[in-house]
A and B are shown apart, each in its own frame.
Chain A
Amino acid sequence: KAGVTQTPRYLIKTRGQQVTLSCSPISGHRSVSWYQQTPGQGLQFLFEYFSETQRNKGNFPGRFSGRQFSNSRSEMNVSTLELGDSALYLCASSPRDRTSNYGYTFGSGTRLTVV
């Protein structure tokens, strides 16, 4: 079956702009999580969505937001971009329900460069 699809793969934006990244999870997976990966901070959790509701949130400013649609596809938005937002953004989908953890499948990521 198809894996986790993230679009676009690469993106270059200017400081102050906003950006929207997209993630299509594996069919049947209702949980979608987002992570930011940078050389300095490593892999950091941004947020998780389950059945269109944000269930967990990491320690990121309000400029980072997301949403999930009824078909489980998710989007992540970053407003007022800063140079430090340059990173690889990874999306993960999971079949996990409210109580059990079945592991995560990651997409190939979107590499965002802010200039």
Chain B
Amino acid sequence: AQKVTQAQTEISVVEKEDVTLDCVYETRDTTYYLFWYKQPPSGELVFLIRRNSFDEQNEISGRYSWNFQKSTSSFNFTITASQVVDSAVYFCALSEAGNQGGKLIFGQGTELSVKP
């Protein structure tokens, strides 16, 4: 069965600190997709990144970076020099390929609080 675990329920940092959000997943599929979403208080899930299982290259987008390691089934997300606007709940998610790909399995989310 597929499963996503975000062990950190809440993280609190001071502005300008770096912070890493952990995500560990389980799947028996060889082809799958991993996602990160941000949910601000307004409720909408904002897409951050999508990665397929064959692409283990790390990615950097501004202050955001992602580290995908198939060997440890992890897809961690780092925010460098955090800002108050980064405060939100962050979700990691997994989906299969093909017909089952319309189903996202979410982790429980990590609530990040960035204090000024």
Q: Give A58's nearest chain B residue, CB to CB.
A: B103
Tell whether B64 is near chain A: CB-to-CB under 8 Å.
no
How many chain A residues have a CB neighbour from B under 8 Å? 30
**Contact between chains at B44 and A108 (CB < 8 Å):** yes
Tell whether A31 is near chain B: CB-to-CB under 8 Å.
yes
| Contact partner, A45, options B35, B44, B104, B107, Cβ 8 Å | B104
Count: A-B pairs, CB below 8 Å: 70
Q: Nearest Cβ distance between residue A17 and chain B, in whole angstroms? A: 23
Tell whether B13 is near chain A: CB-to-CB under 8 Å.
no
CA distance A102 to B50 in the complex (A): 8
**Contact between chains at B37 and A45 (CB < 8 Å):** no
| Contact partner, A42, options B47, B102, B103, B109, Cβ 8 Å | B109
Stretch at the interface among B54-62, B65-73, B75-83, B91-99: B91-99
Q: Give A88's nearest chain B residue, CB to CB.
A: B43
**Contact between chains at B37 and A106 (CB < 8 Å):** yes
Q: Which residues of A sit under 8 angstroms from B25, Cβ to Cβ?
A: none
CA distance A98 to B33 in the complex (A): 15
Could you give 17 example pairs across A and B, Cβ below 8 Å?
A35-B106, A42-B108, A43-B93, A45-B103, A45-B105, A55-B99, A56-B102, A56-B103, A96-B101, A99-B97, A99-B98, A101-B97, A102-B50, A104-B35, A108-B42, A109-B43, A111-B43
Residues on B facing A (Cβ under 8 Å) = 33, 35, 37, 42-47, 50, 52, 91, 93, 95, 97-109
